[in-house]
Amino acid sequence: MLDIVTYGHEALAKKAKPLGEFGPDIPAFVEEMYETMIKGHGIGLAAPQVNRDLRVFVTGLDGDKLRVFINPEIVATSPEEADYEEGCLSLPGLYTHLTRPAIVKIQAWNEKGRPFTLEADGLLARVILHENDHLDGVLFIDRLNPSKRDRALAQYLRKSRM
C-alpha cells in the first residue's frame, strides 16, 4: 500500500515526467496503485498523489474494469459540458461541483506497454479529466473560479486541522 500525499505536498503542484521505459517494475507499481485507490475508496488515483514523478494514473469505477493510463494524451474533448460533484484523495473530505467537458478521447499505454485509445463519457470521462490534471500539477479546486477556490480551500484547511 502506497502513502497518499495531501494538499500542500510539492508532488501535487508540478508537472510529472513521462515514463521513459516500460521496465519490469511497472506492472507491480500499477497493482500497488490499484490497491491504494481501492483501499482509499477512490475511483481514480494519479502517480503524483503517491509521490511518484510519473505520468501514470488509474481508475476504478463501480461496474467498470480497473484501468491504467500511462503517458496519456487528451486527444479531444467535447464542447458539451457536464456537472459533477468532485472529490480527491489528496483533499479528503472536500467535495465541490465542477463543470468539465462531458466526453473525452484519450490515448495512452497500458502496463504491458500496449497503446490504446478510449472515448469516455459520464463519470469515467470525469475521472479521466480529473486524474490527467494531476499529471500537470492541477487540482480540481484549481478549476474553480478564484473566489470559489478560496472558499473551498478555506473549508478544507479548517476541516483538516480539526
124 is a site residue for Ni ion (CB under 5 A):
no
Residue 144 binds Ni ion, judged by CB under 5 A:
no
- Is the Cα torsion angle 3, 4, 7, 10 positive or negative in sign? positive
Nearer to Ni ion, 88 or 104 (CB): 88
CB of 42 to Ni ion, least distance (A): 8
Q: What share of the chain is helix, strand, coil (3-state, %, to 5)?
A: 35, 25, 40
User: Least distance in Å: CB of 124 to Ni ion?
Assistant: 15
Q: Is 131 a catalytic residue?
A: yes
Q: Phi, psi (5° rounding) for residue 98?
A: -150, 140
Compute the Cα dihedral for 142, 65, 123, 114 and give only its sign: positive
Of 12, 19, 70, 88, the one binding Ni ion by CB under 5 A: 88
Question: Catalytic residues, which ones?
Answer: 131
Which residues contact Ni ion by CB under 5 A? 88
